[in-house]
Structure 1
Amino acid sequence: MKNAKYDLVVFGATSFVGQILTKYLSEYFSQQGEKLNWAIAGRSKNKLEEVKNSLGSLGKNLPILIADAGNDADLKALCANTRVVVSTVGPYALYGEPLIKACVENGTDYCDLTGETQWIKKMIETYEPQAQQSGARIVHCCGFDSVPSDMGVYYLQQQALKQFGAPATQVKMRVKTLKGGASGGTVASLINVIQEAAADPVLRKQFINPYSICPQDHMFTQKQDFIKTAKLDSDFNAWIAPFVMAAVNERVVHRSNALSGNAYGSNFSYNEAILTGSGIQGRLKAVGIVAGLGAFMLGAVNKPISQLMERHLLPKPGEGPTPEQQLSGRFDLRFFGKTNAGQSLRIKVTGDRDPGYGSTGKMLGQAAISLALDYVKDGEKVGLGGGFWTPATMFDERFIQRLTNHAGLVFEEI
């Protein structure tokens, strides 16, 4: 891919997140010293023109490429002409595989913001040997799920090694603050996952396996503590409730441990939950979250009810938080880690935008830029070879620096 026409292509630039990402990249490249030859792609020329025009002078020279997510010839031509593709076209389980196939066949690097672990597992099983051969580096989960969790644990482990000379084999992540909204695309992906699991007992078994996307020879047997109900957490002196993204983030973190040679320990345990406060008020809030999640799951499983929810209660595809809501959003995640010897430390990871969109657009953008710039030398790929990587295994401290300098995230020990 040394002679590819483009360094980076945003595929799905007309989607809700795609528009946020495109705006972020156009502003970033106009203000920073880093430069890439990049383009936007999608199936509708008219809609792409609208996105380009919305950028004003920043979009004046931005190339447009026409490619349909379901057209193999389009995708093959796209991947043959770029070094990195960043995709926002979801639900990925419905629309994502042809692009993965094209990237793998062409040796093109790829990142996305999927949280659909059943699809990730299928892609790994289907394409990893070919990706290893072609040199295509595939990095899923480069948005709010699972960059703050995966890179947060990575950062915590780096601090543990510096201070204690040993990894933290027990780690918890607790959501202290989460202010933001959902888009129609995210809701559609979530409902699709729930309905797939309801119809497939094999898939349901996957969803209760914390190691479902780890390599088959991972050898992990540590029992994991799933947070399924309201409970008191003594390490945080507060009540906790289930966190809807835990099912994705926990599996990504375990895959990171496996791919890094059990760097967090072969007896590593990890779970995520939401902090709801102390006392009776904290308990009632936790119970309320459990009830709300249960009602949503039941509604999503029932197709007539889910259709009513999508029609009248939930955002439509292409809809999501307003620019003002994205700016006013934020998140604050707290991590607690403990070594086998009982030494402990705490860190926090914060973000300055709506987590799922304003912040995700910046995280995804920096992941794509990092793939295109940080792991290439004289036009040739350096570092890890082809395969399916997680954020914490593909990237390193340079990515944390990018997130800190250009994406509004802060990683710090408490």
Structure 2
Amino acid sequence: MPGPWSASMASHDIVVFGATSFVGQLVCRHLWQRYGADGEMRWAMAGRSREKLESVQRELGAEAASVPLIVADSSDESSLEAMVKQTRVVLSTVGPYALYGTELVKVCAERGVDYCDLTGEVQWIARMIDRFEATAKGSGARIVHCAGFDSVPSDLGVHFLQREAEDQFGAPCKRVKFRLKAASGGFSGGTVASLINALKEASADPKVRKRMADPYALCPSTSEPRPRQPDVRFKEYDPDAKSWVAPFIMAAINTRVVHRSNALLGYAWGYDFQYDEAVMTGRGAKGWMGALAAGGGLAGLMGAIALPPTRWVMERFVLPKPGEGPSPEAQEKGFFDVRLFGTTERGDTLTVKVYGERDPGYGATSRMIGEVAAAMAAQAGEGARAGGFFTPSVLLGDRLLERLQAHAGMRFERLSP
């Protein structure tokens, strides 16, 4: 096995791998606007094609010609080795990660180089933890999955709510509900490709299907009993949100990340902590109809993707493809607005708001992962480090919270009490 990483050996703080992808270009634009070519963070762009990397440079502007370029391919381990040994943090946008991400995680874990990505693929994350966590702990590599819309608003939102609960009540919330109140933005082609691949894996392997259905799929094993988790599967009325709610497509990954955060914190919120996510559709008959339509629509979409004949039609004629995304105008106009409702063991209640500018799948996500990588790079230069697989909130906590509010267009606010 190659030797571990040393911060003093790195010529870059961050390397964006997949810089020519749609979201990769947005990440590069964010880092360029934040740091230029010679700011406090030294960063580089990486991908399979030098020609395409040079095109991204030109899009950023003439001065970006000094941003270093690295040619590397996800299927060529030697090129990944050469890339990884030049940096403190690898930021990867190359998905679906179950198809293209394993070798890079392996190399980072062996080399002791930090890594973050945008995956929402539960089955793949679980495999990476099983295969490489011991290696990462030994080398000092810190691996952070789900550093975009899935699952930063959920993970950092719960972190913020629990911090406020401890401050207000001296105790954490045992029951937390995430409710997406409103959002504007389209499906990410990369997210769709990852979803389709995950459903293919689940259809082919009952063990994968069972693990994906487990809300504790990403948690370390424990002998402690775990409660049955609430799960909005169709439509229901939520008295805390005072709204009808429907299933949220990202809940399948976000809930697993939040439960892993609790586990990595030594079950600071309790072994009996409960968490679920849903979409608010409003009050009265209109809200009821909205929840009915949303629940039925999501069930129909998932059913169509799960069946090979309809999946073929959806992939070719309906769903966005990797590399496709909204216009700059649509990205700017997009947003998301979340409410988190928490209840302590003795019945105290707390509500917080998480708001983000720009469309969730691209404009907001690119800034989130950019700030995750920058926070990791800053930590990497501070000396002592413990390796392993972390969630964004457990590794970065309030430091990331501050960065997201200062540089990623996000707000975390306590609404009540």
TM (norm. structure 1) is 0.97
1:268 counterpart = 2:273: yes
Query: Which residue pairs with 2:3 in the alignment?
Result: none
Shift of 1:77: 1.1
The match for 2:226 among 209, 221, 230 is: 221
Query: Which residue pairs with 1:150 in the alignment?
Result: 155
Task: Check the 8 A contact 1:16/1:183 in 2, yes or no.
Answer: no
| One-letter identity of the residue aligned with 1:212 | A
The match for 1:55 among 60, 69, 85 is: 60
Query: Which residue pairs with 1:24 in the alignment?
Result: 30
Query: Which residue pairs with 1:277 in the alignment?
Result: 282
For residues 397-412 of structure 1, the aligned pairs below 5 Å read: 397-412=398-413
The match for 1:107 among 109, 112, 121 is: 112
For residues 246-325 of structure 1, the aligned pairs below 5 Å read: 246-325=251-330
For residues 14-413 of structure 1, the aligned pairs below 5 Å read: 14-30=20-36, 35-217=40-222, 219-377=224-382, 380=383, 382=384, 384-413=385-414
Cα distance in 2 between the residues matched to 1:154 and 1:220: 23
Residue 345 of structure 2 aligns to a residue whose secondary structure is: coil
Residue 213 of structure 1 aligns to a residue whose secondary structure is: coil
Shift of 1:357: 0.6
Task: Check the 8 A contact 2:235/2:245 in 1, yes or no.
Answer: yes
1:217-248 deviation line (CA, Å, top 9, x unaligned):
27351110111010011111211000000010
Query: Which residue pairs with 1:8 in the alignment?
Result: 14
Task: Check the 8 A contact 1:27/1:58 in 2, yes or no.
Answer: no
**Runs of 4+ that moved beyond 4 A:** none
Cα distance in 1 between the residues matched to 2:349 and 2:133: 37
Cα distance in 1 between the residues matched to 2:63 and 2:126: 38
Shift of 1:299: 1.3
Task: Check the 8 A contact 1:26/1:58 in 2, yes or no.
Answer: no
Residue 232 of structure 1 aligns to a residue whose secondary structure is: strand
| One-letter identity of the residue aligned with 2:216 | Y
Task: Check the 8 A contact 2:234/2:296 in 1, yes or no.
Answer: no
Q: Assess, with a 3 A threshold, how the Cα gap between structure 1 residues 6 and 220 changes in structure 2: closer, same or farther.
A: farther
Shift of 1:304: 2.6
Residue 285 of structure 1 aligns to a residue whose secondary structure is: helix
Shift of 1:257: 0.1
1:39-75 deviation line (CA, Å, top 9, x unaligned):
1001111111111111113412011100000101011
Task: Check the 8 A contact 1:276/1:285 in 2, yes or no.
Answer: yes
Matched-pair identity in %? 50
Shift of 1:408: 0.3
Shift of 1:298: 1.6
Residue 261 of structure 1 aligns to a residue whose secondary structure is: coil
Cα distance in 1 between the residues matched to 2:206 and 2:176: 30
Cα distance in 2 between the residues matched to 1:77 and 1:126: 22
Cα distance in 2 between the residues matched to 1:173 and 1:36: 34
Task: Check the 8 A contact 1:90/1:185 in 2, yes or no.
Answer: yes
Task: Check the 8 A contact 1:4/1:83 in 2, yes or no.
Answer: yes
Residue 169 of structure 1 aligns to a residue whose secondary structure is: strand
- Higher mean alpha-carbon deviation, 269-278 vs 36-45, is at 36-45
Cα distance in 1 between the residues matched to 2:170 and 2:302: 43
Residue 318 of structure 1 aligns to a residue whose secondary structure is: coil
Cα distance in 1 between the residues matched to 2:314 and 2:140: 43
Shift of 1:371: 0.3
**Count of residue correspondences:** 409
Q: Which runs of 5+ in 1 are unaligned?
A: none
Q: Assess, with a 3 A threshold, how the Cα gap between structure 1 residues 54 and 273 changes in structure 2: closer, same or farther.
A: same
Cα distance in 2 between the residues matched to 1:261 and 1:316: 40
Cα distance in 2 between the residues matched to 1:78 and 1:218: 41
Task: Check the 8 A contact 1:150/1:253 in 2, yes or no.
Answer: yes
Cα distance in 2 between the residues matched to 1:155 and 1:26: 29
| One-letter identity of the residue aligned with 2:222 | D
1:294-321 deviation line (CA, Å, top 9, x unaligned):
1111211122321211211121221111
TM (norm. structure 2) is 0.96
Cα distance in 1 between the residues matched to 2:278 and 2:46: 37
Task: Check the 8 A contact 2:393/2:400 in 1, yes or no.
Answer: no
| One-letter identity of the residue aligned with 1:50 | S
